[in-house]
Amino acid sequence: MNHYYTQNPDTPHDISTIDYNVKDLVIKLNTDAGVFSKRKVDFGSDLLIRSIPPINGNILDIGCGYGVIGISLALLNPSSYVTMIDINERAVGLASQNIRLNGIANANALTSDGFSNVSGKFDAIVSNPPIRTGKKVIYPIFENSINFLNPGGSIYLVIQKKQGANSAIDFLKSVYGNCEVINKKAGYWIIKSTKE
């Protein structure tokens, strides 16, 4: 069975275009079968986008899917540069199309299993992590994230309370020495840790 975190999903294509409205922007997004939340932007990603403060610098979007988080942040923070990564090659292809579709010059998308193809340091890392992959997959990403942040940089995550937000907070505290909940809505928590 294919999941949206499969590297090469062989699910038959079902391409559609959706509109996403955030903070006076209308973003057009091509989506397809075999990627996360293809019919509409999911609640968690939307809450994450709306909760992140303005960022001036380099942003990394881990598990970018078709690109809604990274593209939104690139448009909302025009002086920043956004790198978007995903293990799913179909998702990365869509994210690249959506960067072009929205005329974005300050973002790119590439295939990467975790941080395997990532270089450089970032001022913010953002993710709606694939919780269903389990802690063995996502916790090493959380743990390694600190090595890719500049001092003072932060990681922002959206995790549902019922899907382990509390244990993720405890784990992030063990890595960063800090973690705070910066927003909560309908059981979704936006959590932030900062590299001190």
- Give the pLDDT of residue 132: 80
The pLDDT of residue 4: 46
* Nearest alpha-carbon partner for 193 in 180, 184, 182, 183: 180
Q: pLDDT by residue for the chain (196 residues), tens digit each?
A: 344 455 555 667 778 888 999 988 999 998 887 776 666 888 999 999 999 999 999 999 999 999 999 999 999 999 999 999 999 898 999 999 999 999 999 999 999 999 999 999 999 999 999 888 888 989 999 999 999 999 999 999 999 999 999 999 999 999 999 999 999 999 999 999 999 9
Q: 164 CB contacts (<8 Å, ≥6 apart)?
A: 131, 135
Q: Which domains does the chain have, with CATH numbers?
A: 16-194 (3.40.50.150)
State the amino acid at position 66 in one-letter form: Y
Neighbours of 97 (CB within 10 A): 17
Phi and psi torsions of 86, nearest 5°: -160, 150
Q: What is the pLDDT of residue 8?
A: 57
Spatial neighbors of 168 by CB under 8 A, at least 6 apart, are 142, 157, 159, 191
SS3 192: strand
> Position of tokens 């800090």?
178
167 token code pair: 């244990």
Look up residue 128 and give its two tokens: 């709606």
Q: Which residue has tokens 């995903």?
A: 86
Q: What pLDDT sits at residue 130?
A: 83
Q: For the chain, give me the number of helices (H) and strands (E)?
A: 5, 9
Distance (Å, whole) CA 196 – CA 191: 16
Coil vs helix vs strand at 160: strand
Query: Model pTM?
Result: 0.93
pLDDT for 17 equals: 87
